[in-house]
Amino acid sequence: MSDGRPILVIKLGALGDFVQALGPFAAIRRHHAAQRIILLTTAPFRSLAEASGCFDEIHSDGRPEWWRLDQLLRLRKWLREIGPCRVYDLQTSARSSRYFALFGSPKPEWSGIAPGCSHPHANPARDAMHTVDRQAEQLAAAGVNMMSDSDMSWLTADTAHFDLPENAVLLAPGGAAHRPEKRWPHYAALANALHARDLTPVVIGTREEQDATAAICAACPQTVDLTGRTSLLEIAGLAQRAIGAIGNDTGPMHLIAATGCPSLVLYSSASDPALCGQRGAVVRILRREDLAMLSVEEVEAQLTLR
C-alpha cells in the first residue's frame, strides 16, 4: 500500500474516547511509517493530535450537521480530494460509518463497521468489549499490531508557571451537568483530609464545572484552584508532576491516567468501567451504585501516591 495516496484516520471524540485512541494512533503510525497520515477529528482535540506526532495533517471539521447540506457537501468534497487508500474509522459510530458512502467508486479500503467495508470488525460481541481492547481487535483485523505499552512521554506540557508544590494531588470533581449521578459529592471533605496529611489538593475543571470546584475551595482554602486555567496538554503536564489524582469518570481522568500518574477513579452505576474504564500504569477504580454512599475514608484507603 505505497501508491502515494494517504491514510485517513477518523476519531471525533469525546475526550476519554480520544485519549483511548492514542495507542491505536501510534500503532497506525508504526504500520504506515512511510506514508502520509491524515486525521479527521474535531477542534478540541487538535492540540493532542499535533503533540502525538502521529499525523502529517489534521482536519478538525469532522462533524458536520446532517441537516446542513453545505457542510456535508464540503466534507464529501474534501474526502474525495484527499483520496485515501485506506481509512481507519476509530469512531465506529453510525455517523462515521456514513462517511464511507461519501466516497466515490472505487471506495478506499476501510477498517470499521461500515456495511460493505473491506476490513470489518465483525465480532458480534464488540459492544461488550473495553474500548481499548475493541480497537486493538479492529486493527488486528486490518493487519495492524497494537503494542500494549505505547510511549506516552510526549503527553505533557510546561506547567512551571502554576508553581505547584511537590505534594500536589489532583482532584477532578466535575462532569457533565446533566449527569449529576456521575459526580461524587464529598470532595470538599476529601480536600480537608488531604490537607491534614500535609498534601496539597489541586482542583481542575472547566468554567462550567465551577460549582463543584468552588465548593471545594470554600471548604478547604488551602486548595489550589486551577479551574478554567488548563489546556488538555497542561492537565497532562500537571499529572506528570502530581503525586496522585482522584476524580470522577470524566475525560480529564483518562488523560491523567494515561500519563502514568497514580489515579483513583470513582464510578457510579451510570457507567461501566469494564467498557470504558481509564487505562494507565497505576489505575484503581471504586464503584458504587450511588456515589453518595462512597465515604471519604474508603477513598483515602484506596488512594495510591508516588
Please check whether residue 290 lies inside any domain of the structure.
yes
Whether residues 208 and 280 fall in one domain: yes
What tens digit of pLDDT does each residue of 154-212 get? 999 999 999 999 999 999 999 888 899 999 999 999 999 999 999 999 999 999 999 99
Please check whether residue 181 lies inside any domain of the structure.
yes
Cell, residue 30: 508504526
CB 241 within 8 A of CB 274: no
The C-alpha atoms of residue 67 and residue 75 are separated, in whole angstroms, by 13
Please check whether residue 149 lies inside any domain of the structure.
no
CB 54 within 8 A of CB 88: no
Q: What is the mean pLDDT of residues 38-50?
A: 97
SS3 265: strand
Please check whether residue 106 lies inside any domain of the structure.
yes
Cell, residue 143: 493487519
Question: How many domains are contained in the chain?
Answer: 2
Please check whether residue 154 lies inside any domain of the structure.
no
Whether residues 78 and 165 fall in one domain: no
- pLDDT averaged over the chain? 95
**Band of pLDDT at residue 2, cut at 50, 70 and 90:** low
Q: Rg for the chain (alpha carbons), in Å?
A: 21
**pLDDT value at residue 1:** 53
Burial class (CB in 10 A: 0-12, 13-18, 19+), 108: buried
Whether residues 123 and 24 fall in one domain: yes
What tens digit of pLDDT does each residue of 280-293 get? 999 999 999 999 99
Lowest mean pLDDT among 8-22, 137-151, 280-294: 137-151
Q: What is the mean pLDDT of residues 204-231?
A: 96
Nearest to 90 by CA among 22, 182, 191: 22
Q: What is the mean pLDDT of residues 16-38?
A: 96
Q: What is the mean pLDDT of residues 144-156?
A: 87
Distant-in-sequence, close-in-space partners of 14: CB < 8 Å, separation ≥ 6: 251
**Band of pLDDT at residue 62, cut at 50, 70 and 90:** confident
Range of the domain at 131: 7-141
Q: H or E segment at 134? A: helix 131-141
278 residue type, one letter: Q
Please check whether residue 25 lies inside any domain of the structure.
yes
**pLDDT value at residue 200:** 98
Last residue of a domain, one of 93, 112, 141: 141
pTM value is 0.94
